[in-house]
A and B are shown apart, each in its own frame.
Chain A
Amino acid sequence: MEKQEISGNAARDAAALKALLPAQDILTFSFEDAVKRQYVCIFADALTDKELLAEQALRPLRAYAGDARAKAVREHVLSPEVRTERGLDKLAEEVLAGNPVLVWEGADEGLVVGTKKVNVRAVTEPPTDVAIKGPREGFIEDVKTNTSLVRRRFRTGELMIEMLTVGRRSATSVALCWLEGTCRRDIVEEVRRKLGAIDIDAVPDSSYLTRFLSDRPYSLVKQVGTTEKPDIFCAKLAEGRAGLLVDGSPIALTVPYLLVEDFQSSEDYFVPAYRATFTRLLRLFALLVAIYLPAFYVAAQLFKLQLLPVKLLLTIAGSIRDIPLSPSLEMLLVLLVLEVLNEASIRMPKYVGMALSVVGALVLGETAVSAGFVSTPAIIIVAFSGIGLYAVPNLIEETSVVRLAMLLAAGSVGTYGIVLVSALCLVYLVTTENFGVPLGAPFAPFVRRDLRDTFVKYNLLSLKQRPAALASPNKRRMK
């Protein structure tokens, strides 16, 4: 199809643009300047700041009496964000992005005025990553605001922000950020290549991009880091990663991703190293308990009673005596109830939450135990497991599936099933790579220097070098 360009006839150009954008919220407005030259302004109703448009463009142009060339007209528009475009399709894209377009009699190019109005919520603390000590800012849905939050933290020309567009129809803005000289060039190019290869209608959220950025897109294991906090995002950029901010999503993406990242929290860097080490080990312990405890409980009951100390065994034996379900079925049922309660509590209105707690805790818990459907140890174990899972919130999707697999293996093969599923997980984890960086680093492959910021956190003064696993061209971050 032949590309349409500005003709210089205001009415015809406006009609052509309106034909490209027939929706009713795309409005046109005509006015004349001091020499009775006709102008037509085309804009998207809800996306344009009309007051600003009038102040910066319409008012000065009404008094304009000069040349009709775009270059001359442009100089009389007071907006700091003005540019010219010849192609009507490009101009239409700008209108859809919220920037009004001006065409006029005798124009050689159209004028794009950057008076986009974005309704954004305030920068608040993200609910998924709360810090008691440390910054409380969180990303919001507006990519411009998010880039400003990043830019504020890096007052250096080395911070590169490249705006890309993804999505055939949504034309979602994606800001690719990296620190020049710190992030490997091939990582940036690979991100660009992968984003460029995306052919999808719309990108409603950054999570859509994670599949396209992963080397194993169907994998159970996540291969892209996520964060809602600018301070974490910037820290990751400073380590040599590339980051992506997606318009419409408060969740930023970082690559390459290491599994150990999700055991770290921003607060770890603001408290003494021994405290950070303790909390990281606690998270690891909680995660292991969440995954293994239900499985070991079932395996112990079914195949290996010796796993339990005698007194505990007697207590459990008393509790499970009249339970009609098999241990694995009982555990599966209670886990299922937990998942349902979890899902419902997220979706339902806050006011119903109290009722849900009553139903969950009393009706399902207390009554089910007293009615003899499930045993008290099963409820305790599932509760412990459920809480433990949330100690590492970024891995909930993966760990809940692994927990279920462990439970099924324990119920059918016993402890040896748990050993084999663990072995399978290990093989899968250590062989997964993304952007050439192994997910299991610095444990597999073993990188001794990088162990200083894993489950054991060294003092900040000992972390003089960037993670070797990321192979940053600039290895030293502190002298």
Chain B
Amino acid sequence: MKLSSRQILFFLAAAAPIGKIVLMPARLARACANDLLFPVLAQLLVQAAIIFCVLLLARREQTLYALIRDAAGGVAAKIAAILFSAFLLFAAFLPVVEQKLLVRSIFYDTIPVYLVFTPFFIFSAYLCARPLCTVGRMWDILTPLAAVALAGIALLSVGSADYGALAPAGAAGWEGFASGTQAACSWFFDAVLLLALIGRFPYTKGLAWKGAVCYLAGGAVLLFLLATFYGVFSEIAVAQTHAFARMSGFFSGMTVLGRIDYLFIFAAAFVMTFYVILPMQAAVGTLSEAFGKSRALPALLSAGINLAMLAAVYLTNFHTSQIIEMLTGTLFWLYPVFAAGVPLLLTLIFGRRTHETVS
């Protein structure tokens, strides 16, 4: 089983909006109020450029580990794999916490017991133990599903949105823009996920451009959802965590039909589950490649990583908001370093075609 370039494009189109509509909108509204679209636009453009670079790197048709091993030897490649996986696990923490908060507030009328989120880790352990290439086939189904879910949410919300709330543009000033960009950093690391997949799909002509365009197309959906979100809630947007699950709740037909928006919200949460697990799956895939071909290794790594993540999530349960503040505030710089710096560095080193480096 191998990934195809189409599956990569599908993934990029869906990844742009799907992981960034839970906590990020409210966090951005707090940082830059009605100007929340500009930091996101900036992040999208930067990520699209990095995705372009990573896809250029994919022309070598070698995995990240293989690239480094061939250039710097096995030991260096193993160290790089460990560091890379460590960042992936670090990056996975915020989405997992988001998912936990989403589950506890959206799927239940009353606050459920902590253990209710444990099955997520069981599923995650199963998924992480599967080969990384299975990601492709899953996103073949998840991308259309994400499109339907987000379109449904948007359609039900549009009628309640007053887009005039976004005016005047630039009211938050440069300070608001900088603050928003800093806060958004923690949600924009899609290029790193793509980095974990290179070498597992064939490079087809123009894939780099297509990848960047697909990501930007998904980004346009994200911008529209953010605009609608702010249009619906305006100044109280700062308090609306789990944005996408709240904004469609004012559709007038619901008095007759019930909360039909939940169908779309559950569909989005379904897709999000796979997106949240992907960094852990990528970490297991990278480490498995680096440390041997044993059939049991992915299962062991998967169990270990998920157990550690479960412990981390439950141990920090009473400090969730501080953790989120820390990840989006104090430690924000780690994301651009790995999500932008590392891919760019790798592109500079390995980005040229093989026949060019031989000469």
Contacts and interface: CB of A to CB of B under 8 A. Distances in A.
Given A422-B270, A444-B140, A416 B134 contact: no
Interface string A413-455: 1111111101110110011010000101001111000000000
B119 interface: yes
Contacts of A426: 138, 141
B258 interface: yes
Interface in B233-265: 255-259, 262
Contacts of B4: 445
A420 B107 CA distance: 12
A418 B103 CA distance: 12
B258 A443 contact: no
A178 to B, nearest CB: 26
A427 B109 contact: no
Contacts of B112: 303, 414
Nearest to A447: B140
A413 B266 contact: no
A416 B123 contact: no
B135 to A, nearest CB: 10
Contacts of A310: 255, 258
A445 B108 CA distance: 34
Interface residues of A, number: 32
B10 A446 contact: yes
Contact of A414 (B107, B120, B257): B107
Contacts of B116: 413-414, 416
B255 A419 contact: no
A220 interface: no
Interface in A314-373: none
Interface string B104-133: 000111001000100110110011001000
Given A303-B112, A446-B6, A446-B10, A423 B270 contact: yes
B103 A431 contact: no
A311 to B, nearest CB: 9
Interface in B258-285: 258-259, 262, 266, 269-270, 273-274
B109 A430 contact: no
Nearest to B133: A431
Given A303-B112, A414-B112, A446-B140, A308 B7 contact: no
B141 A440 contact: yes
B269 A419 contact: yes
A310 B256 CA distance: 8
Given A419-B270, A424-B126, A444 B119 contact: no
B199 interface: no
Interface in B6-56: 6-7, 10
A424 B257 CA distance: 30
A308 B119 contact: no
A90 interface: no
Contacts of A163: none
B136 interface: yes
Contacts of B69: none
A312 B108 CA distance: 19
B137 interface: yes
A420 B259 contact: no
A309 B109 contact: no
Interface string A209-223: 000000000000000
Contact of A420 (B109, B138, B255, B273): B273
A409 B112 CA distance: 15
B137 A430 contact: yes
Contacts of A440: 137, 141
Given A415-B266, A423-B270, A423-B273, A445 B137 contact: yes
A305 interface: yes
A416 B109 CA distance: 12
B259 A306 contact: yes
Contacts of A306: 109, 258-259, 262
A306 B108 CA distance: 9
Contacts of B126: 424, 427
A433 B2 CA distance: 13
Contact of A308 (B108, B123, B255, B258): B258
Interface string B174-197: 000000000000000000000000
Given A427-B126, A440-B141, A445-B136, A413 B258 contact: no
B333 to A, nearest CB: 33
A303 to B, nearest CB: 5
Contact of B130 (A431, A433, A438): A431
Contacts of A423: 123, 127, 270, 273-274
Contacts of B255: 309-310
Nearest to A433: B1
B141 A430 contact: yes
A307 B262 contact: yes
A304 interface: yes
A422 B127 CA distance: 13
B275 to A, nearest CB: 12
A327 B44 CA distance: 46
Give the most central of A305, A312, A418, A431: most B CB within 10 Å. Answer: A431
Contact of A309 (B140, B258, B269, B270): B258
Interface string A64-76: 0000000000000
Contact of A443 (B130, B140, B269, B273): B140
A416 B103 contact: yes
> Considering residues B7, B107, B123, B126, which has the most beta carbons from chain A within 10 angstroms of its beta carbon?
B107
A422 B255 CA distance: 28
B273 A427 contact: no
Interface string B200-219: 00000000000000000000
Interface string A287-314: 0000000000000000111111110100
A445 to B, nearest CB: 5
Nearest to A309: B258
A309 B257 contact: yes
A424 B137 contact: no
A430 B3 CA distance: 13
A420 B134 CA distance: 17
A303 B141 CA distance: 28
Nearest to B143: A446
Contacts of A446: 6-7, 10, 140
B108 A427 contact: no
Interface in B129-169: 130, 134, 136-138, 140-141
A445 B7 contact: yes
Nearest to B136: A445
A414 B270 contact: no
B259 A307 contact: yes
Chain A to chain B: the 4 pairs with minimum beta-carbon distance, closest first:
A309-B258, A444-B137, A430-B137, A446-B140
Given A416-B120, A420-B122, A426-B141, 5 more contacts: A310-B255, A414-B107, A416-B107, A431-B134, A444-B137
Interface of B: 1, 4, 6-7, 10, 103, 107-109, 112, 116, 119-120, 122-123, 126-127, 130, 134, 136-138, 140-141, 255-259, 262, 266, 269-270, 273-274
13 contacts: A303-B109, A306-B262, A307-B259, A310-B258, A420-B120, A420-B273, A430-B138, A438-B137, A443-B140, A444-B138, A445-B4, A445-B140, A446-B6
